[in-house]
Structure 1
Amino acid sequence: MELIVYGSLFLTSSLLFYLFYDLLIRPKQVMRERLDNVKEMADIRDVFEDGMRESFVIRVINPAYERMIRSLGNLAPSTIKDRYENLLNSSGAKDKMKFNNILAMQVMLGIILSFLVHYLMKASSSPSNSLYIFLAGVVGFLLPYYLLLSASEKRKQEIQYAVPSMLDLLYVSVEAGLSFDMAIYRTTDKMKGPLSDELRFTMNEMSKGRERSEALREMVKRTQVEDLATFVTSIIQAEEMGSNIGNVLRVQANTMRLNKRQRAEAKAAKIPTKMLFPLVFFMFPALFVVILGPAIINIMASF
């Protein structure tokens, strides 16, 4: 049994190390190899010699790792895969990480944490508890998912917070005489953040020949922000009906600013409720000690 555990730890550690290598070091190595290929393009070399010149990691370990995580990803249901893809899109990590990499990281972290708990129990001479080992594996498996979910929610909040300012800049630019596309370009130059990145990516898609409505809907699908979806729907309807985009932007800017103020007021209204528990458990005991402490000491002294 211990041989199986140690073998699983060695395999998992190796795969985890190669996963970080694949995400951090390999892109630089690929870029360096591409530059070398460009420099040596004029040279004529035998195909077999070029293949053998590559490192052992690229020739053997990389294909084996890719096949393993691809097989692991194929075992997952389509609903889970779609959910992870949506989280990768909304968190902005779609180009840095794939679903198969996340799933492989979850499995490896689950195995590593389970082994660590098992080893600590054995080192402390305490009886091994299968429940603790199982819970450690569950925590390790779910940790990457919740980190990805947290990054997605944070990015959504940043985009939602930036939508009113973006609409104000768009409205001012359109009223100044710029077209809608040029107004978006000017807005991306003035603003920084995830919303500006999404707008810039959408404009690049449009410059490649994609229709504006389709590119905007794809942006909404990636970001999954309700305010942005409302804005895109109003712009598409205005184009289809031939309405003035400037008026639509003015109405949307006022509406989004009002929604932002209402959300801030709702958060402010929840502050007294959230402050109740810290006051009861931390402030009131200290006040009772300061106020009633001397009186209790005098009463005890008199008796």
Structure 2
Amino acid sequence: MEFIVYISLFLTTSFLFYIFYETFVVPKQVVKQRLDNVKVMADTRDAFDEEMRESFAERVINPVYERIIQGLGNMAPSSIKKQYEQLLSSSGTKGTMEFNNVIAIQLMLSVLMAFGTYYLMRLTEQPTNGLYVALAGAAGFLLPYSSLRTKSKKRIEAIEYALPSFLDVLYVSVEAGLAFDMAIYRTTDKMKGPLSEELLSTMNEISKGKGRSEALRDMVKRTHVADLGTFVTSIIQAEEMGSNIGNVLRIQADTMRLNKRQRAEAFAAKIPTKMLFPIVFFMFPALFVVILGPAVLNIMETLMK
């Protein structure tokens, strides 16, 4: 009898709990689910509206362009890619332009110059010469690479030129009592240029947790400046051996100034050789005309009599 009472009590309690659940809990869950569905639909609609507000170029052309240049970059040999990346890093355009973009610009410029040459020949009614079209396309392909290489060379020369003076100011700052890091910040604030930009980038990497030696070596890899590599090596060795940074900076400043003088002397020694061809092909003909012209005229008048 007690067993039946317990069963009845359990069933009654379960029935009341079921009624309470169906009456109060289930409707709230249904409403919540509907609200969540409405929210998802609103978010999807907002995302769709935001996407549709973008221009056709941003929605269609740019993704297609990115995929095409990505494919072109993957097709290039690894040695060519490494060479271009070195030029991009040494020219200071690594963050604004990538290897794929350079290849795409080369191909587009090559096609445009070849088509422009062909169209100009047809416009002037000249016979179409495939050699000229091919040369124009080759020139368009090589022009971005040549520009990038020239920019890299100028930046390397600017760093080499500024390094001795930078080390002088850095040495004075360290001798005045500043720590090496603060001396670099103070010197880069006073002397602007590619060298200061690279050092500031390196110091930011160090402040974010990168090792000093690793950050300095990465700077040398980016710039491809031999004198800067010598300076970085001496600084790393001085820190590892506990040497005086001020003496190292003074020695490095003298060494860099000597290297700068030697480069200037070597450049001056090449000037006569470089001037030979302009003199022979431009100045000598004019001198011959001025000097021998009257004599030739007199001889012609004498023979004609």
**TM-score normalised by the shorter chain: which range applies?**
0.7 to 0.9
- Cα gap change, 1:126/1:158 in structure 2, threshold over 3 Å: closer, same or farther? same
Cα distance in 2 for residues equivalent to 1:128 and 1:283: 37
**Residues 279 and 137 of structure 1: CA distance in aligned 2, closer, same or farther (over 3 Å):** closer
Q: Partners in 2 of 1:59 and 1:288 — Cα distance?
A: 67
Give the CA deviation at 1:301.
Answer: 5.6
What's 1:211 paired with?
211
For the residues of structure 1 that align with 2:279 and 2:106, how far apart are their CA atoms? 39
The CA distance in 1 between the partners of 2:178 and 2:277, in whole Å, is 53
1:125 counterpart residue number: 125
Q: CA deviation at 1:297?
A: 5.0
What residue in structure 1 maps to residue 109 of structure 2? Answer: 109
Give the secondary-structure state (helix, strand or coil) at the position aligned to 2:65.
Answer: helix
**Could you tell me how far 1:127 is from its partner in structure 2?**
3.2
In structure 2, relative to structure 1, the CA distance for the partners of 1:300 and 1:119 (3 Å cut) is closer
How does 1:87-106 map onto structure 2 within 5 Å? 87-106=87-106
Query: Which residue pairs with 2:146 in the alignment?
Result: 146
Give the number of the structure with larger relative contact order, counting CA–CA contacts within 8 Å between residues 6 or more apart: 1
TM-score by length of 2: 0.79
Deviations 1:118-166 (A, max 9, x none): 2222233333222222222111111111111111111111011111111
1:238-286: per-residue Cα shift (whole Å, max 9, x none)? Answer: 1111111111111111111011111111111222222233333333344
SS of the residue corresponding to residue 213 of structure 2 reads: helix
In the alignment, what sits opposite 2:236? 236
Q: 1:26-65 counterparts in 2 under 5 A?
A: 46-65=46-65
Q: Match of 2:221?
A: 221
Q: Which runs of 5+ in 2 are unaligned?
A: 1-41
Match of 1:13 in 2: none
Moved more, 116-125 or 223-232: 116-125
Q: What is the aligned length?
A: 261
RMSD: 2.0
> Following TM superposition, by how much is the alpha carbon of 1:175 offset from its aligned partner in structure 2, in angstroms?
1.1
Q: Name stretches of at least 5 consecutive residues in structure 1 with no aligned partner.
A: 1-42
Describe the shift of the 1:288–1:120 C-alpha distance in structure 2 as closer, same or farther (beyond 3 A): closer
Matched, 1:201 2:201: yes
Q: Distance in 2 between the 1:278 and 1:54 partners?
A: 57
Give a deviation string over 1:66-121, Cα, whole Å, max 9, x none. 11111111111121111111111111111221111111111111111111122222
